Amino acid sequence: MAEQRPAGRNGVGGGRAIRVGTRRSQLARIQTDSVVEMLQEFYPDLRFEIIAMSTIGDKILDTALSKIGEKNLFTKELENALERNEVDLVVHSLKDLPTSLPPGFTIGAICKRENPLDAVVFHPKNCGKTLSLLPEKSVIGTSSLRRAAQLKKKFPQLEFRDIRGNLNTRLKKLDEKEDFSAIILAAAGLKRMGWENRIGQLLSPEDCLYAVGQGALAVEVRAKDQETLNMVSTLHDGETVLCCIAERAFMKRLEGGCSVPVAVNTMLKDGQLYLTGAVYSLDGSESLKETMQTSVNYPQQPYFDVCTCRMKMDQMMMCSMLASQPRTSLLRPRKLQRTLALNWLIYC
């Protein structure tokens, strides 16, 4: 049975603050503030309270993400608070959210995606250079196996070393020490922090395919909390949802996470959804990479809202179709059936 609260104006909230969970980092707070601002525009009479907390991934900074052994490094504590009714919704970077959610939770909205590409930030002494122009044996910092695997193959003359911490910490390590010639970060995070001027090189998909969901924000809610689902569904961005559901289906089929170098690139053009997916060995010497394509139709704004459809990422039929394919054939070229990208729509 769906959770019920006394309805306020717009049918949401009942006069009390809507509690929004987030990580404590500056970037997480900026991202959450942006989501709350969008919700406030739709629901000006509601009050929102942001509740910040630290996650396992925030606390363990001396170990590579791939060695910690958890898929929910940056989400577990937030989901625990959601389960205990301490918050009403949680804002995540979608790339941090495992493809299989705990029972009782669902993704209520995926917001419009920021630039999903990876970016290179150079040590001040290397300003104006690109990766190809760095001296041999230059050390590049990254906490991502995906980035390291691809760039090792593309730039074998460079060395790649793990670097942990939030954006502020990693930039400080780069600027104040001589340990790294450059570090690789998500362009979206740098832009949201207002640090676009630190981007020395954007890595194209030809150089480095990006992470599943990179650049997109997701709102996680309790699956039976109908009022909150109705509220956050106004944040849906149709194009972003279609691209990200394809990426997450690909990741789920491979059972990937921080410990697997899985990478993607998706594009919607002229009614066609293109997904390029790749899996790499840790040293980048071996890889499987192919592009799949399907025709799609989806509601355009302003019709893409709760009155028209409801997105249930954790129930996506795309996964079941992909699961029917032999694992060895997953990356072979083939045209996906049209229903793959449409089954997430549930019409009222």
CA distances from 114 to 118, 150, 241 (A): 12, 22, 13
Among 251, 226, 220, 259, which Cα is nearest to 101's?
220
pLDDT score at 314: 35
pLDDT tens, residue by residue, 63-93:
444 444 455 555 788 898 899 999 999 999 9
pLDDT score at 260: 78
Residue 116's beta-bridge partner residues?
none
Statement: residue 8 has pLDDT above 70: no
Banded model confidence at residue 252, pLDDT cuts 50, 70, 90: confident
Sign of CA dihedral 128, 205, 304, 103: negative
pLDDT tens, residue by residue, 140-188:
999 899 999 999 999 999 999 999 888 999 999 999 999 999 999 999 9
Amino acid occupying residue 78 = L
Eight-class DSSP state of 325: S
Amino acid occupying residue 67 = K
Exposed/middle/buried for residue 204 (C-beta within 10 Å: 0-12, 13-18, 19+): exposed
Exposed/middle/buried for residue 291 (C-beta within 10 Å: 0-12, 13-18, 19+): middle
pTM given for the model: 0.80
CA distances from 348 to 103, 104, 165, 166, 308 (A): 23, 21, 44, 41, 6
Residues annotated as part of the active site: 96
Cα–Cα–Cα angle for 144, 169, 25, rounded to 5 degrees: 90
* 25-44 mean pLDDT: 95
Instruction: For the chain, give the mean pLDDT.
Output: 80
Quote the CA–CA distance of 139 and 159 in Å, as a whole number. 5
For residue 106, report the phi and psi dihedrals to the nearest 5 degrees.
Answer: -150, 160
Identify the H or E element spanning 148.
helix 145-154
User: H/E/C letters for each residue in 156-207?
Assistant: CCCEEECCCCCHHHHHHHHHHCCCCCEEEEEHHHHHHCCCHHHCCEEECCCC
pLDDT score at 71: 53
Quote the CA–CA distance of 323 and 325 in Å, as a whole number. 5
Q: Which of 23-32, 287-296, 318-327 has the lowest mean pLDDT?
A: 318-327
User: H/E/C letters for each residue in 213-271?
Assistant: CCCCEEEEEECCCHHHHHHHHHHCCHHHHHHHHHHHHHHHHHCCCCCCCEEEEEEEECC
Statement: residue 258 has pLDDT above 50: yes
Quote the CA–CA distance of 116 and 213 in Å, as a whole number. 8
Q: How many CA atoms lie within 13 A of 94 on its CB side?
A: 31
Among 263, 269, 319, 268, which Cα is nearest to 289's?
263
pLDDT score at 73: 55
Which residues lie closer than 8 Å to 331 by C-beta, 6 or more apart?
Answer: 277, 278, 279, 288, 289, 290
